[in-house]
Amino acid sequence: MKKSSKEKEFLDREEISEMIESAIRRHNRRSTIISSVLGWILIGGYSFGLFQAVQNV
C-alpha cells in the first residue's frame, strides 16, 4: 500500500536530539578550524610587520 503525500513521518525526541547534537559538533569543529587558520594568518601578518619595523629602525 502506497502512502499518500499528505501523511507525514514524525521523528522521536531522541532522533531530533541526536541530529541537533551532530549539527552542533560539526559546527564547533568547523569553527575551530576556521578560527585557528585566521589566527595564524593574523599572527603571521603581525610578526611580519613587526620584523619589518624593527629591521628599518
> Would 49 be classed as within a structural domain?
yes
> Would 52 be classed as within a structural domain?
yes
> Would 50 be classed as within a structural domain?
yes
Please give the residue that has the higher pLDDT: either 12 or 6.
12
> Would 37 be classed as within a structural domain?
yes
Would you state the cell numbers that stand for residue 15, as one nine-digit string? 532522533
Between the CA of residue 17 and those of 25, 38, 50, 54, what are the distances in Å? 12, 31, 48, 54
1 exposed, middle or buried (CB, 10 Å; 0-12, 13-18, 19+)? exposed
- Per cent of the chain over pLDDT 90 is 77
**Model's pTM, two decimal places?**
0.66
Mean pLDDT, the chain, rounded, equals 90
What mean pLDDT do residues 44-51 have? 96
> Would 10 be classed as within a structural domain?
no
Measured distance CA(22)–CA(28) in Å, rounded: 10
pLDDT tens, 19-42?
999 999 999 999 999 999 999 999
What is the tally of structural domains in the chain?
1
For residue 45, the enclosing domain spans 26-57
